Amino acid sequence: MAAPRFSRFEDADQGDHWPGFVDALATLLLVIVFLLSIFVAGQFALSRALTGRDEQLAALNAQLAILADELDLARDENAELTNRITGLETEIAGLESQNDLLNTALTMAEGQQAALQAELDSERELSSESMQALALLNQQLQVLRDQIATLNAALEASEQRAEEAEAQVINLGERLNAALAERAAELAVYRSDFFGRLRAILGNRTGVRIVGDRFVFESDVLFASGSADLSAEGRESLRPIADAIIQLTREIPDDLEWVIRIDGHTDPLPIRTTYASNWELSAARAISVVNLMEDLGVPSERLVAAGFGEHHPIAEGRTAEAYARNRRIELKLTAR
């Protein structure tokens, strides 16, 4: 057993390295081919997954377009039925007015008839003129009764049409509410995706937390005390938020009305700067964030600034910690 091993060493010492080099090169080539096969298979699987997602997104956009058309049609039908109800109500009011006039005339005629009848009874003889007058009056009374009956029939028909139109309006309202609820559900899906991205972007960064459906930035991270000018650190903190909003504008369909509302809040301590009140400071800070978002490319029509002053605290008490939590900027994705 020892002799062959020493024989190989003797051959190696003589400079015959080529067979070992060929074996190593062949092994390396097999490893590279294996890795390339794995990479090509992964690329193929990723391409199929992306193709399926694009098809689902196209189908969703087509469904949204159909829903938008149905919603517009329902709104048009609702407006038409509302106009019809208004016309029917006007017609009913006119018929009721004519009915009142005819009832008044009928009452007067019946009074005249009663007076003439009493006069005729007292005289116990009917002259030819009184008979003619009574016959004419009876004819007039019959005509009035016929007119009243006609008006009553028209009034009942108008009321029935109004009830049918009102039922159609209620039905359209329910359909409209269902469509709006569906749109709200769609917006909720995008809101959830948007907040998931922001959570991934912000991570465990200090000075930022989630409260309900809002992202809350402590103002001390973005602004100096009593100032509405964004600090350099604050601008950098908001830059990835702006990128996420821009990506969101590309994904949400155009027929969904949504905005990013930026709310400014302060603590209750009296202000001692160029701003007259905490109202103005909170509004100015919200506007500063909106201006930065616009500078970073966020569409202006998707931004809303609001100032709430110290009137909506999220931390109770009069401690420095509570004041710091209440000095904040909130971002919320909501319907317009």
Residue 169 has what pLDDT? 65
Within 10 A of 167 (CB to CB), how many other CB atoms are there? 11
Q: What is the DSSP string of 225-249?
A: TT--SBPHHHHHHHHHHHHHHHHHH
DSSP 223: B
Q: Tell me the β-bridge partners of 264.
A: 307, 329
Do residues 81 and 169 touch, judged by C-beta distance below 8 A?
yes
Residue 281, judged by CB atoms within 10 A of its CB (0-12, 13-18, 19+), counts as buried
Q: What is the DSSP string of 3-49?
A: HHHHHHHHHHHTT--HHHHHHHHHHHHHHHHHHHHHHHHHHHHHHHH
Residue 41 has what pLDDT? 86
Sheet holding 214-218, edge to edge: 208-211, 214-218, 328-335, 258-265, 303-307
Do residues 199 and 240 touch, judged by C-beta distance below 8 A?
no
Residue 289 has what pLDDT? 94
Residue 188 has what pLDDT? 55
Residue 1 has what pLDDT? 46
Nearest to 111 by CA among 137, 139, 149: 137
d(C-alpha 258, C-alpha 302), whole Å: 7
d(C-alpha 298, C-alpha 242), whole Å: 6
Do residues 214 and 331 touch, judged by C-beta distance below 8 A?
yes
The per-residue pLDDT string of the chain (336 residues; one tens digit each, 9 = 90 and over) reads: 444 544 544 554 455 667 777 888 888 888 898 888 888 888 888 877 777 776 777 777 777 778 777 777 878 888 888 888 888 888 888 888 888 888 888 888 888 888 877 776 776 665 677 677 778 778 888 888 888 888 888 888 777 777 777 766 666 666 555 545 455 455 555 555 656 555 555 555 555 677 666 778 888 888 888 888 999 888 988 888 888 888 877 877 776 778 889 999 999 988 877 888 999 999 999 999 999 999 999 999 989 999 999 999 988 888 988 888 889 999 887 777
The dihedrals phi and psi of 95, each to the nearest 5 degrees, come to: -65, -40
Structural domains for the chain? 62-182 (1.10.287.1490), 204-335 (3.30.1330.60)
DSSP 311: S
pTM value? 0.45
